[in-house]
Amino acid sequence: MLRLIARRLLVGLLVLFVVSLLVFGASLLLPGDAAQAILGRTASPDRLAVLREQLHLDQPGYQRYLSWLGDLFTGSLGDSLANGQPVAELVGQRTANSAVLLLCSAVIATPLSIIAGTWSALRRGRAVDNVVSTGTLVLAALPEFVIGILLILFFSTTVLHWFPAVALVDENRSLFAQSAVLVLPTLTLVLAVSPYITRMMRATMLEVLDSEFVQQARLKGLPERVVLVRHALPNAIGPVAQVIALQLAWLAGGVVIVEYLFRFPGIGQGLVDAVTNRDLPTLQALVMLIAFVYVLCNLLADVVSILSNPRLRTAR
């Protein structure tokens, strides 16, 4: 079991290394460089040359990658090409903001979907089940930015004026102190990921409820609540954990569009900005971070499914 986790960790590190190579290579393929992106239409040859030298863009690509990698081992993420500030500082604040957003979404979406899915399964074929099934299907079919736009229209600009339409975050105060800006982005993300978890939960729950050991438990005369909590749920949660992990990993990347829509100062917005500015160090840091979350979520999902499955738990 520990050996399995160790092996997974090593593979994860390898994946991160490959990702860093790919991102660097891909960004070199992007037309234009940071100097051109920064100067835009004011990029006259003499000003370009001065800026390129300042940003070390005159060095060959592999040399810049190696110095980036070298810096990484000394714990430095380098300086942003866009404004010269340390990347760690720029990315740090954004990461914290996004983490808050993701955490809120995950903490709400996960139990909500598990409860909705279970409830729907228990009421199989009845009105509640139909409503949940249709509702999740509709939500799953809507892209998250459509959900976001509808929420903005309804809750902030046209019908009601309850929540801010865009997140104008005051960096000097804690995000929780200005929690109103979190409401609509969180709600959008919750509505975007819940349908998948709910539907998966319902499907596995139905399967488990139909299985022989649940029938056996019921025949033994156990109360329905005990059957559900002690026997059905633990067996249903394994496959669902995978879906939850996948959805959380998706959140880390999918947050880009939602952040753009709400002008939320998180990693998504930072990523768009870094690509536009060809700001390689910032781009690398952000992509690595997202890749890291992916690897971590998958690892956790594996661990949970192993723990919930005795056959895997004892396997060598």
Partner 1 sequence: MLRGAAAGVLGLSAVPLLTSCGTQPPAARGNPTGPPRRGGVLRVGTAGGGSSDSLDVHNPITHPDICRGLNLYEPLLYRKRDYTLESCVAESVEVSKDGLSWVIRIRDGILFHNGKPVRPEDVIYTYRRVTDPKKPQAAANLLSSVDRDGFSKIDDRTLRIKLKAPDVSIHDVFADYRIGIVPEGYDPKKPIGTGPFTFVNFTPGQESTFARFSDYWREGQPYVDELRIINFTDDSARTNALLAGQVEAIESLPYAEVRVIEADPTLRVLKSRTGNWNPFTMRVDVEPLRDVRVRQALRLSIDREEMVNQVLSGHGRIANDMYSPFDDSYAADLPQRTYDPDEAKSLLKAAGHENLQIELVTSPVSQGIVEAAQVMQQQARSAGIGIKLNRVDTGVFYGDDYLKWHFAQDFWGTWPYLVQSALGSQPSSPFNECHWVDPTYLDLVGKAKQTVDDDKRSRLLEQAQEIEYERGGYIVWGFLDLVDAYSRRITGLKPSEKGIFPLDAYRFREVWFV
Tell me how far apart the alpha carbons of residues 166 and 155 are, in angstroms, rounded to a whole number.
12
Q: Select 182 or 248, whichever has its Cβ closest to partner 1.
A: 182
Q: Kindly state the smallest distance separating residue 92's Cβ from partner 1, in Å.
A: 13
Q: Kindly state the smallest distance separating residue 19's Cβ from partner 1, in Å.
A: 22
Place of tokens 């228990």: 122
Does position 24 interact with partner 1 (CB under 8 A)? The reply is no
Tell me how far apart the alpha carbons of residues 313 and 185 are, in angstroms, rounded to a whole number.
38
Does position 47 interact with partner 1 (CB under 8 A)? The reply is yes
Place of tokens 């496959």: 239
Place of tokens 């986790």: 5
Does position 95 interact with partner 1 (CB under 8 A)? The reply is no
Q: Kindly state the smallest distance separating residue 281's Cβ from partner 1, in Å.
A: 12
Tell me how far apart the alpha carbons of residues 1 and 302 are, in angstroms, rounded to a whole number.
11
Q: Kindly state the smallest distance separating residue 140's Cβ from partner 1, in Å.
A: 24
Q: Select 89 or 210, whichever has its Cβ closest to partner 1.
A: 89
Q: What is the DSSP letter of 172?
A: T
Tell me how far apart the alpha carbons of residues 185 and 103 are, in angstroms, rounded to a whole number.
12
CA-CA distances (angstroms) from residue 12 to 9, 161, 251, 312?
Answer: 5, 45, 19, 21
User: Which structure tokens are listed for 309?
Assistant: 């499955």
Does position 30 interact with partner 1 (CB under 8 A)? The reply is yes
Does position 272 interact with partner 1 (CB under 8 A)? The reply is yes
SS3 189: helix
- Mark the segment that binds partner 1 (CB under 8 A) among 25-33, 106-114, 202-210, 303-311: 25-33
| Size of the residue set binding partner 1 (CB under 8 A) | 46
Place of tokens 């660097």: 24
Q: Kindly state the smallest distance separating residue 181's Cβ from partner 1, in Å.
A: 10
Q: Select 77 or 90, whichever has its Cβ closest to partner 1.
A: 90
Tell me how far apart the alpha carbons of residues 145 and 87 are, in angstroms, rounded to a whole number.
28
Q: Environment class of residue 90 by beta-carbon count within 10 Å: exposed (0-12), middle (13-18) or buried (19+)?
A: buried
Does position 40 interact with partner 1 (CB under 8 A)? The reply is yes
Does position 173 interact with partner 1 (CB under 8 A)? The reply is no
Q: Select 93 or 242, whichever has its Cβ closest to partner 1.
A: 93
Residue from 57, 109, 121, 261 touching partner 1 (CB under 8 A): that is: 261
Sorted by sequence, the CB contacts under 8 Å of residue 164 that are 6+ apart come out as 156, 180, 181, 184
Does position 157 interact with partner 1 (CB under 8 A)? The reply is yes
User: Which structure tokens are listed for 276?
Assistant: 């536009």
Q: What is the radius of gyration, based on Cα positions, of the chain?
A: 24
Centroid of chain to Cα 230:
31
Does position 154 interact with partner 1 (CB under 8 A)? The reply is no
Does position 56 interact with partner 1 (CB under 8 A)? The reply is no
Is 164 in contact with 156 (CB distance < 8 Å)?
yes
Q: Select 40 or 310, whichever has its Cβ closest to partner 1.
A: 40
Between 98 and 137, how does the x/- string for binding to partner 1 read (CB under 8 A)?
----------------------------------------
The residues that touch partner 1, with contacts defined as CB under 8 A, are 30-32, 36-44, 46-47, 50, 80, 82-83, 85, 90, 149, 152, 156-158, 161, 164-166, 168-169, 171, 260-263, 265, 270, 272-274, 276-279, 282
